[in-house]
Structure 1
């Protein structure tokens, strides 16, 4: 279904069919894995409708608002995509920058319009789609007490609208953020599932290295996993860099030395290990 067809001139949420999402293997620390698996089980259609019906019978809210928070590159957005693919749910990705219009009053209309359109999508879809607010830091931050400036009042109005919409939600919303410590307490209460994505532990990093670069031997993968406390996104960057260079110039004579060079270049100066390595 084309979301723009029911919207008019409001900002367009990116409609993504679950069938177009490519499968990707993700690795989690134990606590994250359990929560992600529980959420995926909830959103499986065999369970989803029955749970919603039971909640309605007991006068509980039947919508599910979820928060994925943690450091960049830890798999928050990719987890949403893979849950959507696994449960057969289309995904509506909201652009925060498009919501926050420069014209006074437009931002509030944009927010209301997105939720109005989502409600129509829920009614018209065989399976309830997922509404994704990616990098939602800008709209779930702490509200300004006693706001007097027009821009502060505008921010508060936007947040109040979102809080009300989450309260009335009859669907699935996932928000991702890197800055959960700045989130307003009123939002924290409204998210039923709150999943903290931490950097992968040693075992996870080893698995990611071996998956991203299948030709890496166990000893070298263990060395890299122990030496660099990278996120999955950072390891993927290095693996892509290595692959590109191998295509352009052929595989290096010393794979580990080459990868260490890419690792040391991944972060800004002053943030890499100071130990020397012999080859």
Structure 2
């Protein structure tokens, strides 16, 4: 994947489509329907009045679920499926201390996306999509409300694909929810999906005969991002050990140790979040 950095947009050219992502049958079905409605000329023929009402052809999708469940990588794959560049909006850089600059930055993101035919990704977009009445009426809250209102106006006008991701569906602004074409949940993967993820991330790795990806999937209920981390950590350990034993493969024990560390870290974060130490 080639990439170029911008202060407001991180633009990449995804090379792989949706088949490269491990998704459930339900997720695949929902994405296929959304793409059909976005791309199909037959759909526009069947519903010409709908097209005339909105005067645009757009797909606004919300991907929601816990961290590490594949929201961002699916957004990349969706752009790859459409053979369009993906522009990841740097939300922290959109905000600016100077009056009116934040709104100008947000408008620039949409203007660039129109000019270059980009898929826009607002990753971890909680501040833009949460209910607008939240807050205490401070100047910061007022700026946030202005930014949210402008965001709603722009996605209403935008012809193209906008993808939003969040971990916090419960605060979703109803005004945004009404505009969504696709609202797709990314839950923690089930055992069989976890096994497919283990196999994907260990593909072409030198595995010992005792490696059992089904057992790993059953023992450790991890998200895809955590499985990837565990596989990479096992590969790093192998690289270190091969300095003295060049023919050593990855063993089940090495993978279980790496998975256990990921799971322990995940449990710690969940405990800390429940206790209020992290948000």
TM range, smaller chain: 0.7 to 0.9
The answer to whether the aligner puts 1:109 opposite 2:104 as a matched pair is yes
How many Å separate the matches in 2 of 1:210 and 1:175?
28
1:185 aligns with 2:181: no
The equivalent of 2:220 in structure 1 is: 228
In structure 2, the CA distance between the partners of 1:264 and 1:65, relative to structure 1 (3 Å rule), is: same
With over 3 angstroms needed to count, the CA separation of the structure-2 counterparts of 1:22 and 1:248, relative to structure 1, is farther
1:23-77 CA deviation, whole Å, 9 max, x = no partner?
9732112211211233344555xx3x56467666542423221111111111111
Q: Distance in 1 between matches of 2:13 and 2:158?
A: 21
- Given that 1:64 and 1:169 are in contact with CA atoms closer than 8 Å, whether structure 2 keeps it comes out as no
Residues 242 and 262 in structure 1, CA contact (< 8 A), matched pair in contact too: yes
1:86 to 47, 59, 81: 81
Q: Distance in 1 between matches of 2:144 and 2:42?
A: 37
Counterpart CA distance in 2 for 1:88 and 1:31 is: 23
Compare 35-44 and 151-160 and name the one that shifted more: 35-44
Q: Which runs of 5+ in 2 are unaligned?
A: 269-279
Which structure has more relative contact order (CA 8 Å, sep 6+)? It is 1
User: How far apart in 2 are the matches of 1:202 and 1:3?
Assistant: 37
- For normalisation by structure 1, the TM-score amounts to 0.80
Structure 1 pair 188–222 and aligned structure 2 pair: CA distance change class (3 A): same
Partner residue in 1 for 2:163: 174
Q: Could you tell me how far apart the structure 2 residues matched to 1:106 and 1:223 are?
A: 53
1:135 counterpart SS class: coil
Aligned to 1:7: none
Q: Contact (CA 8 Å) 1:140, 1:187: kept in 2 or not?
A: yes
Checking the alignment, whether the CA contact within 8 Å between 1:68 and 1:76 is kept in structure 2 is yes
Aligned-pair distance for 1:270?
8.6
Which of these residues, 12, 15, 23, is aligned with residue 16 of structure 1? 12
Q: TM-score, normalised by structure 2?
A: 0.80
Q: Distance in 1 between matches of 2:74 and 2:126?
A: 18
The CA deviation at 1:117 is 2.7
Q: Aligned-pair RMSD on alpha carbons?
A: 3.0
For structure 1, list consecutive stretches of 5 or more residues without a partner in the other structure: 5-9, 123-128, 273-279
Alignment of 1:196 with 2:185, yes or no, is yes
Q: Which residue of 2 aligns with 1:277?
A: none
Say which SS state the counterpart of residue 271 (structure 1) adopts.
helix
**CA–CA separation in structure 1 for the residues paired with 2:73 and 2:150:** 27
Instruction: Find the residue that maps to 1:114 and give its secondary structure.
Output: helix
